[in-house]
Chains A and B, each alone.
Chain A
Amino acid sequence: MRERSMVPEPEFESYYGRQIIKTPTWKTPDVPLYLFLGGMAGASAVLAEGAAVTGNEPLERVTRIAAASGAGLGTVFLVHDLGRPERFLNMLRVLKVTSPLSVGSFILAPFSALSSAAAASQVTGRLPRLGRLAGAGAALFGPPLATYTAALLSNTAVPAWHEAHRELPFVFAGSGASAAGGLAMLLTPAAQNRPARRAAIAGAAVELTAAELLKRRLGMVAEPYVQGRPGLLMRTASRMTAGAAVLSLLGGRSRLVSAVCGATYVSASLLTRFGVFEAGLASARDPKYTVVPQRERLAAKASAKTTV
């Protein structure tokens, strides 16, 4: 493995090598798919409103439908992941700021309603003013929808997710923008997809920068993002995103190049979410990532005490 760390394995004790925290029970592919769809849908709602303001009807149509179907499909995966799916409405019993899943439910529910209304109005041509109003509302809930999922992962005891809480929202924001832009590039005529192309390129830049910062800041806890299967997923995703960004900068005006770039952005965003998700699972399964950073923290506290 080329990118494997050359630092010697840290020594630590454990109970028969067993993991300390539990592996998250969230299912694959339900949850990573939801992370992807939420990001794509949220960013699409923003593009839809931009398209509406600038009178770009073909782009508006594509992004409105993308926002609504992303939210709808995402909700299906989210409900399917529950141990008791018939009780999914219990999510709306309370609103707790300490629970990103609770806050997220109150983002997803209005977003789904508003984006569906906007898309329905767009497709049928009925109630255009209400449709625009709903679309503007969806555009406001869109960015929170695309990024709260980072809080969902970070607000856990899972080392690779929790320690990444500063960068992960930006990884998801960028990944959502490049997915939404990419999907619009794939489905909109080249003459009208310039804003989508720009959003995808900017999203790619945000995502790649944030992911790089994450790997540098996390030290040993970043290992799951570069090693093994999640590492392969992350590497493939970032190469695809970077490639699509370069290609769309150079030849985005061609319909064919635009479509190829668009599909690449979308696939890369999907891979990124699987990579981030699986990196977290890997960090939960190995007691090293729980014990060693906590030991280092205790040692730092102890040495701070003695020097004072």
Chain B
Amino acid sequence: MRTNSFHGPLADVQGDAGYEEHPPRMGFFTDTSVCIGCKACEVACKEWNDVPDDGYLLSGMSYDNTQALGASTWRHVAFVEKPLHPTTTDLGLPGMGPPGWDTHESGLPQAAPSGEDQATASGDSGVRWLMSSDVCKHCTHAGCLDVCPTGALFRTEFGTVVVQPDVCNGCGYCVSACPYGVIDLRKEDGRAFKCTLCYDRLKDGQTPACAQACPTESIQYGEVDELRDRADRRLAELHEKGVDVARLYGRDPDDGVGGDGAFFLLLDEPEVYGLPPDPVVTTRDIGSIWKHVGAAAATLLALGAASFAGRRR
């Protein structure tokens, strides 16, 4: 029997999962530099997958009332609004920005302001817009899949990660294990749900609904190897044009999750979009975790035995 690798690059994801013959690994490359925030992907996903609504609240976060990925949100368009020229005099007036605007305005590597001429400025208000359609990353080493105790989460022949609703018992372990905060339990249903990368459509040779609906080809669907080449070319092109804030996210097979099946081109630090800057699959440490549990269990056994040692009473 072969041993599965728990982290690091993996050339044949499906082979590692036990498929002898399989189609190529399929995924998404989301180029956020051409995203216009139309949310067609969100709508197409909901429609095709029959995903229920998850509330009609106004969030106060720019044009983003969807707020985050979740059990009933499998595509989420983020809207980052930042003033290009932050005012230097503080008049002590109540802020106009969204909640958390001031508290988390940071002094981190100032890649952002250099994007002045690289993002859309709207009129004289001088707002820098970033839009990005987020989705499940279909990790090479997927924490959700690793920790699922029922086998409800599985690796498909396309290398994607899918939940089988007829097996899931709603234990919620996948929710705590996802380093991106993607998968969640649907409260009224009790089970876990997330993007399937339109497994049903893939089986039929079709493009996933979100990519099909995207009017600017911000969401590109294809073979992961080919998408990686395409992403590299796009990055080089942008850098050549002077868009030095462009960077790829999730493309590197050497990252903490072995690379994502769905990766991105971003125009700012990942955390600005609500993405973790250096995600690591929790199972990378499973060896160390069990080793320490074993030592602690042995300690408990020894402690118990020692309590009876010596003078008998």
Q: Give the interface of A toward B (CB within 8 A).
A: 11-22, 24-26, 42-43, 46-47, 49-51, 53-56, 81-85, 87-88, 90-91, 93-94, 96-102, 105, 139, 142-144, 146-148, 150-151, 154-158, 162, 165-170, 172-173, 176-177, 181, 191-192, 194-196, 198-199, 202-203, 206, 284, 287, 290-291, 294-295, 297-298
Q: Is the CB of A157 within 8 A of B143?
A: yes
Closest beta carbon of chain B to A62's beta carbon, Å: 14
- Separation of A157 and B272 alpha carbons in the complex (Å): 19
Centre residue among B286, B300, B307 by max chain A CB count within 10 A:
B300
Q: What residues of chain B lie closer than 8 Å to A151, measured between beta carbons?
A: 289-290, 293
Q: Is the CB of A155 within 8 A of B177?
A: yes
Q: What residues of chain A lie closer than 8 Å to B80, measured between beta carbons?
A: 15
Q: Is the CB of B289 within 8 A of A154?
A: yes
Q: Select from chain B the residue with minimum beta-carbon distance to A15.
A: B274
Q: Is the CB of B191 within 8 A of A84?
A: yes
Q: What residues of chain A lie closer than 8 Å to B282, measured between beta carbons?
A: 154-157, 162
Q: Is the CB of B108 within 8 A of A22?
A: no
Q: Select from chain A the residue with minimum beta-carbon distance to B98.
A: A16
Closest beta carbon of chain A to B42's beta carbon, Å: 16
B23 at the interface (CB under 8 A from A): no
Q: Is the CB of B170 within 8 A of A84?
A: yes
Q: Is the CB of B169 within 8 A of A83?
A: yes
B253 at the interface (CB under 8 A from A): no
B121 at the interface (CB under 8 A from A): no
B271-293 interface code vs A (CB 8 A; 1 in, 0 out): 11111111100110110111011
Q: Is the CB of B61 within 8 A of A177?
A: no
- 15 A-B pairs (CB sep. < 8 Å): A13-B272, A17-B99, A17-B104, A22-B183, A50-B304, A91-B149, A98-B6, A98-B146, A143-B298, A143-B300, A144-B297, A147-B297, A154-B289, A169-B292, A191-B313
- Separation of A13 and B275 alpha carbons in the complex (Å): 10
Q: What residues of chain A lie closer than 8 Å to B150, measured between beta carbons?
A: 87, 90-91, 93-94
Q: Is the CB of B104 within 8 A of A13?
A: yes
Q: Select from chain A the residue with minimum beta-carbon distance to B100.
A: A17
Given A83-B189, A87-B169, A155-B177, verify A13-B106 contact (CB < 8 Å). Answer: yes
Q: Is the CB of B300 within 8 A of A176?
A: yes
Q: Is the CB of B99 within 8 A of A16?
A: yes
Q: What residues of chain B lie closer than 8 Å to A167, measured between beta carbons?
A: 292
Q: Is the CB of B181 within 8 A of A195?
A: no
Which residue from B78, B143, B180, B307 sits with its C-beta under 8 Å from A195? B307
Query: Told that A24-B172, A195-B307 touch, could you supply 9 new A-B pairs with CB distance under 8 A?
Result: A13-B104, A15-B271, A43-B300, A46-B300, A87-B170, A99-B146, A101-B171, A157-B282, A295-B271
Centre residue among A81, A87, A144, A295 by max chain B CB count within 10 A:
A87
Q: Is the CB of A99 within 8 A of B148?
A: yes
Which B81-102 residues sit within 8 Å CB-CB of chain A? 98-101
- Separation of A49 and B308 alpha carbons in the complex (Å): 10
- Separation of A129 and B64 alpha carbons in the complex (Å): 67
Closest beta carbon of chain A to B282's beta carbon, Å: 5
